[in-house]
């Protein structure tokens, strides 16, 4: 059976469509971005807070009690790619093709990461996911 030959324009279009699905990128916002500042400040309040509400929320989110200096915004490509892949796996059904994401990644000590895709919404709320140091999903919360 002889297959029909594609025109060069159709072939380029097909290649463009296929490569678009494979070429996702994960971009981590810098610590100076408003989204990063808001999330980091919230996490600092949780992990340093001694009031009962902070303690209950911190425990629910499985975050350690640490000094504010142990909370940082991560921007390295390695961490960003791991965070994007973990976030995607937590938020989409298995087998869903990866998509590009713009992330805020907040590291808490050496044991936890909170990841936010600024474009992923549930209604009007953003989805934040907590992962351990091996990028295993622990819990999600909205903000």
Q: pLDDT tens digits for 41-83?
A: 999 999 999 999 999 999 999 999 999 999 999 999 999 999 9
The 10s digit of each residue's pLDDT in 89-112 is 999 999 999 999 999 999 999 999
Q: How many CA atoms lie within 13 A of 108 on its CB side?
A: 27
Round to whole Å and give the CA distance between 120 and 127: 6
Q: For residue 112, which phi and psi values (nearest 5 degrees)?
A: -140, 150
Round to whole Å and give the CA distance between 13 and 49: 55
Predicted model pTM: 0.83
- Three-state DSSP class for residue 85: helix
């Amino acid at each position: 059976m002889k297959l029909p030959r594609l025109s060069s324009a159709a072939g380029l279009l097909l290649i463009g469509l296929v490569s678009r699905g494979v070429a996702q990128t994960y971009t981590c916002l810098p610590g100076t971005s408003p989204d990063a500042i808001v999330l980091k400040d919230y996490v600092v309040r949780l992990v340093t807070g001694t009031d009962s509400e902070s303690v209950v929320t911190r425990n629910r989110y499985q975050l350690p009690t640490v000094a504010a200096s142990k909370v940082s915004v991560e921007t390295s490509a390695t961490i960003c790619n791991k965070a994007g892949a973990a976030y995607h796996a937590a938020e989409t059904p298995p087998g869903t093709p990866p998509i590009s994401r713009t992330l805020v990644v907040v590291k808490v000590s050496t044991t936890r990461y909170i990841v936010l895709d600024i474009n992923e919404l549930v209604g009007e709320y953003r989805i934040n996911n907590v992962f351990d140091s091996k990028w295993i999903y622990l819990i999600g919360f909205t903000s």
